[in-house]
Structure 1
Amino acid sequence: MPSSFSSQMLSSGGLGLAAGLSLIVAIGVQNAFVLRQGIRQEHVGAVVAVCAVSDAVLITAGIAGLGAVVEQADGVLRWLTWFGAAFLIGYGLLAVRRALRPSAGLEAERAATTTSVAAAVSTALALTWLNPHVYLDTVVLLGSIGNGEGPSGRWWFAGGAVLASLLWFTILGYGARLLAGFMSRPSSWRILDGLVALVMLTLGVLLLVRG
């Protein structure tokens, strides 16, 4: 019995970890925002916590069966798509403005655009909960895979997926400060904000087209 329990814990938990990382480790709206906050070294802990906890809630909901409900909620997803697209395009345009604005470097950029923790948390929440892709990845896809692991294995799968999210956002947020030297040049910030704008605007337009 203990051997069987350990085997299921490792196999289901490992599958959840791998599946979670495969979906999370990609250039997306959450990652772009966490990376930028990490480089700026501004409210990193709060932003990482919001993203990781949000993912944990969504993954748990998917494992609990909400994924099947979401797949049928076409109206809800449609409205979420429109709101998400509008938010992403708006945030992308702000990134375009930052990319085009002259900057004196990292310290000047941080001083000129310092945000409160409430603003950072609000943005992280919006980028997570207004993004339909998050629901499809965490609730629907991970929920479907996890429920295939059986009554007990699915929760080990959920644990592995939640751990993947926590590890990734922590590494991304706190590891980004290693780029601070490179980001001391104004041109580097322009490149970063240009990439952020490209990701946000592309995803926003895709949502509009598919919506």
Structure 2
Amino acid sequence: MIAAAIHGFILALGLILPLGAQNAFVLTQGTAHRRFTKVLPVIVTASLCDTILIALAVLGISVIMLEHDWIKALLYLLGCGFLLYTGWTTWKSRHEIHTPLPDSRGISAKKQIGFAVTVSLLNPHAILDTVGVIGTSSVQYAGPAKLVFAMVCIITSWLWFIGLGAAGQFIGQQAQSPRILSLIPALSAVIMWGTALYLAYLLILLLQGQA
């Protein structure tokens, strides 16, 4: 079971380390809020979404769902649309850095949750990575070892997002120049738009029967 735990930790960390749309959004909200409690909605939502994806991957349910091309096409379409919208909202928020509010410069808890769900569950690329890597890797384990593997993947995800939110807040508090702070949401928006364009490309390939 120790081997399963180490395997789960390395695998989960390797999947979430790249600065994708989900990580970029959590980091941006960390820099935008003055209090850590204000960042908790996006941290908890992103962590719960990853927990759901990991559980579905280990149980094998997500593999069955993604066998149907129309489900993948729908996910690509929805993910592309929502990421374009989320990217635009994040891009506009860079102007708010220059006029900070008493407690935060970020979006509300409700919007944090909605956007976090979007960049987590409506990102087919992330879903396919989770299914293809974590789901496939979990097949080699059974019983308690499989449970340990899944739990370590989930715990690693939670710790990562907590650390990312805290790191974003530290950057927001230490950076004195509003110009520097405004670069973070701008970079996040570009990452989201890039992900949206990639999903649009995958959708085209799927519709052409090449995916």
Partner of 1:95: 90
Q: Indicate if the aligned counterparts of 1:65 and 1:143 stay in contact, CA closer than 8 A.
A: yes
More helix by share: 1
Partner of 1:172: 164
Distance in 2 of aligned mates of 1:17 and 1:210: 29
Q: CA 1:96 to 1:164, structure 2 compared with 1: closer, same or farther past 3 Å?
A: same
- With normalisation by structure 2, the TM-score equals 0.85
- Deviation track 1:167-186 (CA, whole Å, cap 9, x = no partner) reads 10010012222112444422
The aligned amino acid for 2:67 is Q
Q: CA 1:94 to 1:117, structure 2 compared with 1: closer, same or farther past 3 Å?
A: closer
Partner of 1:3: none
Q: CA 1:33 to 1:114, structure 2 compared with 1: closer, same or farther past 3 Å?
A: closer
Aligned equivalent of 2:149, options 153, 157, 166: 157
The aligned amino acid for 1:72 is E
Distance in 1 of aligned mates of 2:136 and 2:106: 41
Aligned equivalent of 2:131, options 131, 139, 143: 139
- With normalisation by structure 1, the TM-score equals 0.85
Q: CA 1:123 to 1:87, structure 2 compared with 1: closer, same or farther past 3 Å?
A: same
| SS state at 2:19 partner | coil
Partner of 1:198: 190
Q: Indicate if the aligned counterparts of 2:32 and 2:169 stay in contact, CA closer than 8 A.
A: yes
Matched, 1:75 2:81: no
Partner of 1:6: none
How far off is 1:110 after superposition?
Answer: 6.6
The aligned amino acid for 2:152 is G
| SS state at 1:150 partner | coil
Deviates more, 1:56-65 or 1:175-184: 175-184
How far off is 1:13 after superposition?
Answer: 1.3
How far off is 1:150 after superposition?
Answer: 3.0
Distance in 1 of aligned mates of 2:187 and 2:133: 27
Distance in 2 of aligned mates of 1:129 and 1:186: 32
Partner of 1:127: 119
Structure 1 moving runs of 4+ over 6 Å: none
How far off is 1:87 after superposition?
Answer: 1.0
Q: CA 1:201 to 1:80, structure 2 compared with 1: closer, same or farther past 3 Å?
A: same
Q: Indicate if the aligned counterparts of 2:32 and 2:106 stay in contact, CA closer than 8 A.
A: no
Deviates more, 1:68-77 or 1:170-179: 68-77
How far off is 1:31 after superposition?
Answer: 0.7
Q: CA 1:65 to 1:104, structure 2 compared with 1: closer, same or farther past 3 Å?
A: closer
Q: Indicate if the aligned counterparts of 1:84 and 1:204 stay in contact, CA closer than 8 A.
A: yes
Distance in 2 of aligned mates of 1:55 and 1:68: 16
Partner of 2:50: 55
Matched, 1:104 2:93: no
The aligned amino acid for 2:57 is G
Q: How many residues align?
A: 200
Matched, 1:22 2:14: yes
Distance in 1 of aligned mates of 2:102 and 2:187: 17
The aligned amino acid for 2:126 is V
Identity in percent: 25
The aligned amino acid for 2:109 is V
